[in-house]
Structure 1
């Protein structure tokens, strides 16, 4: 007769210290399974040793060196306030795990809304999650501060077109921002520095603290690490200490001629984009030249084929955009906003067209640093991914060992602004034609195994319909959100003197550029003591308000006439008009049958005249040129 021996329960056979050491390497899913094996395991993991287990770096993401409490969560960049109310280390582990899991999906679940700031197209914008503010400049000039939670305009500076003699901001002003300090450029090669939280100032109000003048043509500037770096195409760079009042020039650099205007900085170095000559790196303190990152020396190549996604007809797209309007309320959860993309080994096939941009010398534009990672974007649609830019500066062999190129099909038409990039949490984001690509990297910020990627990559559109698409003028990755400039249809404030009959009223909808917010924050179960919608308070859920202020609404559907829609169609081009005019009855019916949504309009902004409305697209094309 034989006897079967069973392994003893590790809890009784091993010291607690050994069990805890094993659990440190146990995946979250297995840890959750163990808690239901027995009461003893549940007590060991979720009661006696909960903090010891979930404070492990393998279970929760924390600042370097760890943390004793949750104060570091105040620095998170969450539009949905996803980490507000975190009650324990296990709760934090759950939130971080669910959020990371959704980001890793090829078709993540998303919720979206857009913010229209006044009647002028957005140019640059920045998000302040600490103060819950959006700051933005526009095509027409001006500087606006908007409440992130309500969409209401809190404070503004006018455009130089309206107020040339006083405090005003020029059209297409670049904007930089860090923790209450805003910097934007003005005519005459100078930049202005403004600060909020000043004594006696209202929430969102900024006051000017300095004007930094330069004796050369300034092409760009960047603010981070409490230093402002300014670059000139005439072989000069400037580094300011922004902790001083007024800001103090600490380093005047002599650099190569021809900087294109894009730059980024680490704590000790600044990297300038030099067009066809790659990226030049300088020490911010001494001004010493540290070397060149030249993507042409990169031999490890990958490519992405354009995603295939079904597009609605012109009339369907118009109907959807009109019905939705600039709705500053997170919509329903959906899985069709993102289209999966895949990386493949090797370069793209050479184009047969000898005039194709890839046959020429490539020009490098936007570049961005995130820790040891540096990424750059080119006119030919190439993305330079350097996992350790400091090592790459040591020579061509080190550059090749620490970098890769991703090639995408592009004709260079969206590069006139130098491209745009965002890098965060092992992902990089860039624009190709009318789509934004989000490419996931591995834990070492290198290209993932293309046959078995741990994180998915995906893309999303830059406009509500192709006829409106223009290059993105700002985009950023945040902890729970993707934010980009987005071309769609805006709603213009009606003029009080408009007493025309209903059928003769002009269109109150017009093409514009807004802030698009794509939230990837997952739903948290009420059982955990958290809100089912982490962005909406209990009072708001009771009234159905959410982020939507009932006093800020789009015009009622019956105020939009068929004649007005046809006027809008005429702005979108002949090809669109030919299809949509035939189906206009469908568009109008679809719109009238749709649910009325809320939209934001600034009551202080005057409505633009007919000529400005017709010339908006033309002005944008001129600015890009």
Structure 2
């Protein structure tokens, strides 16, 4: 081009079809710049060809095959309703871009909410974003349906300890899909309940079936409208949940010693077999598809925990104070860049430990495993994460497994593996728990570990409790489109001793603070209405304290806090005779009450009691 020659606008010399082809490859930021350059570009992009440009796969994420309208947004997993009232394809592009950009940021802006469900610690929970409620079971038994936006309990089933009628046992495993809830009963049966029944109120479920088995069941998983059940006696069961009653379609003969974790795709189910790895079967025919043995993986990476930065001891009390004696829902905290701490994935295995009890790679025990498309991820007792980008290829032989998988090693003593470990997979991310921390590890677009020197998506970590003395293993976690959700140990308010958190009657005992397990939601949704909370130049939220805490300034008037770790310990020491009526505080703090293998009936002894409690140990889908 000759220096000084006039710049030619492509709009004036190229056909619209060619310009549209060029814009197909332009990033969203380039479109924004072009619309600001001239009225002609604004007219071309935002008015004349807006739908053609922003419906492109390169600009908006849509279901396979595309979509003519926004009806598919009703299936999104959004806690903050980030896609509600979407008005145009450009509007959708903006929302998806801002959300993806925040997730990819090294220090994403987040807001935290904590939901206390009744007076009992939460065991398993599932989020229904379409109906806007949580379904949960608890340590003490019972099932609760809780409004996602207000924290109100909409409906509940009592614990077996409270009634001889319809009830739910303590530590019941829970599976859920689009209005259908499945949980285990006493013995080896599972109950199927459905909401949206004729004449039922919002959130009310009614039982439609009890599925009995003649062998010890160890776990079950519901997705793709199939319920898959596993036994450690070499049997698997697949039910068609669209039938009334649900119909057993396949009785599989599988490898023995299933530990209870399983997950499924549309056509296959994969069972965890402990030290043997993972075994895959066809759901329709029962045919064995192959074995995923992580010990054959040679590509190794590792991640170290960030420096220990537990929040101040007063944070747990500040949270309880914000909850207050008459509210069970923490309002979202101030937007902050301190809630998620960045972590770095490094190439190579962790340095060999000096601990003689260290579990070496080939001897490791594998628990939780999950499928998301072609991606399969498994989790081990020694803190290893098996990431297989294409499990369908990897099951063929050792060479295929090595070519399609990697191992991510983490520092772990195995203390958080008592439940077999918990996983969640979504949008090219893997979430798991190690040593009182949640790790969210981002993968590349092919679901492989990213280039460690130039990652395009950030990975980060957050704590699992509001104070280290309260930490117990997570009993459920999930990634949503705009949030990280998990069980969370903190301090709560006991309003009364009545089931379901019913407000105390006049003259009843005053509220008391007690350690509990709540539902924690860390939202990464962008603020599409209000201006963002100012962030200081160093990236810190001036109103936030340390990782995972709420600002003390948010405490209601008259609610005091303890600002030191010693203060919290002193308070807990003073309260421990008051706060825990059903069990010692020390047992809760040490995690003993979270033991999956604890017998529900204290009078039962030996293997029979262990077998019964093990039957609840299943796993959920992606």
Q: TM-score range by the shorter chain?
A: 0.7 to 0.9
Q: 2 CA distance for matches of 1:179 and 1:436?
A: 27
SS in 2 for 1:34: helix
Alpha-carbon contact 1:351-1:358 (below 8 Å) kept: no
Alpha-carbon contact 2:24-2:58 (below 8 Å) kept: yes
1:490 is matched with 492
1:331 CA drift (Å)? 1.6
Q: Does 1:405 align with 2:446?
A: no
Alpha-carbon contact 2:310-2:468 (below 8 Å) kept: no
Alpha-carbon contact 1:357-1:412 (below 8 Å) kept: no
1:481 is matched with 483
Q: Does 1:333 align with 2:335?
A: yes
- Structure 1 100/313 Cα, relative in aligned 2: closer, same or farther at 3 Å? closer
Aligned length: 563
1:403 CA drift (Å)? 0.6
1:572 is matched with none
SS in 1 for 2:199: coil
Q: Does 1:521 align with 2:525?
A: yes
2:254 is matched with 255
Alpha-carbon contact 1:510-1:613 (below 8 Å) kept: no
- Structure 1 321/222 Cα, relative in aligned 2: closer, same or farther at 3 Å? same
What are structure 1's unaligned runs of at least 5 residues? Answer: 534-553, 570-575, 588-606
2:37 is matched with 37
Q: Does 1:92 align with 2:65?
A: no
1:497 CA drift (Å)? 8.5
1:269 is matched with 268
- Structure 1 47/378 Cα, relative in aligned 2: closer, same or farther at 3 Å? same
Q: 2 CA distance for matches of 1:507 and 1:358?
A: 49
- Structure 1 144/313 Cα, relative in aligned 2: closer, same or farther at 3 Å? closer
SS in 1 for 2:438: strand
1:195 CA drift (Å)? 0.6
- Structure 1 494/210 Cα, relative in aligned 2: closer, same or farther at 3 Å? closer
The structure 1 residue matched to 2:381, chosen from 379, 382, 395, is: 379
Q: Does 1:426 align with 2:435?
A: no
Q: 2 CA distance for matches of 1:118 and 1:579?
A: 23
Q: Does 1:213 align with 2:212?
A: yes
What are structure 2's unaligned runs of at least 5 residues? Answer: 498-503, 534-553, 599-622
Q: 2 CA distance for matches of 1:622 and 1:379?
A: 15
1:179 is matched with 178
Alpha-carbon contact 1:189-1:216 (below 8 Å) kept: yes
Alpha-carbon contact 1:114-1:515 (below 8 Å) kept: yes
2:601 is matched with none
Runs in 1 of length 4+ with deviation above 2 angstroms? 2-7, 309-314, 316-328, 356-360, 494-500, 554-560, 576-585, 607-616, 621-625
Structure 2 counterparts to residues 41-120 of structure 1, below 5 A: 41-120=41-120
1:547 is matched with none
Considering Cα pairs closer than 8 Å and 6+ residues apart, tell me whether 1 or 2 has the greater RCO: 2
The structure 2 residue matched to 1:508, chosen from 505, 508, 512, is: 512
- Structure 1 578/514 Cα, relative in aligned 2: closer, same or farther at 3 Å? closer
2:169 is matched with 170
SS in 1 for 2:417: coil
Return the TM-score normalized by structure 1.
Answer: 0.85
- Structure 1 210/254 Cα, relative in aligned 2: closer, same or farther at 3 Å? same
1:347 is matched with 349
Q: 1 CA distance for matches of 2:318 and 2:469?
A: 14
**RMSD of the TM alignment (CA)?**
2.8
Q: Does 1:281 align with 2:280?
A: yes
Return the TM-score normalized by structure 2.
Answer: 0.86
Q: Does 1:392 align with 2:363?
A: no
Structure 2 counterparts to residues 596-615 of structure 1, below 5 A: 610-612=581-583, 614=585
Q: Cα deviation per residue 1:378-437 (whole Å; 9 max; x = unaligned)? A: 000000111111011121111111111100000001000000000000001000011000
Alpha-carbon contact 2:295-2:362 (below 8 Å) kept: no
2:593 is matched with 620
Q: 2 CA distance for matches of 1:411 and 1:139?
A: 25
Alpha-carbon contact 2:496-2:511 (below 8 Å) kept: no
- Structure 1 403/248 Cα, relative in aligned 2: closer, same or farther at 3 Å? same
1:130 CA drift (Å)? 0.9
Q: 2 CA distance for matches of 1:492 and 1:557?
A: 20
1:494 CA drift (Å)? 4.6
Q: 1 CA distance for matches of 2:94 and 2:587?
A: 47
Alpha-carbon contact 2:515-2:579 (below 8 Å) kept: no
2:28 is matched with 28
Alpha-carbon contact 1:373-1:387 (below 8 Å) kept: yes
SS in 2 for 1:414: helix
1:242 CA drift (Å)? 0.5
- Structure 1 365/11 Cα, relative in aligned 2: closer, same or farther at 3 Å? same
1:58 CA drift (Å)? 0.4
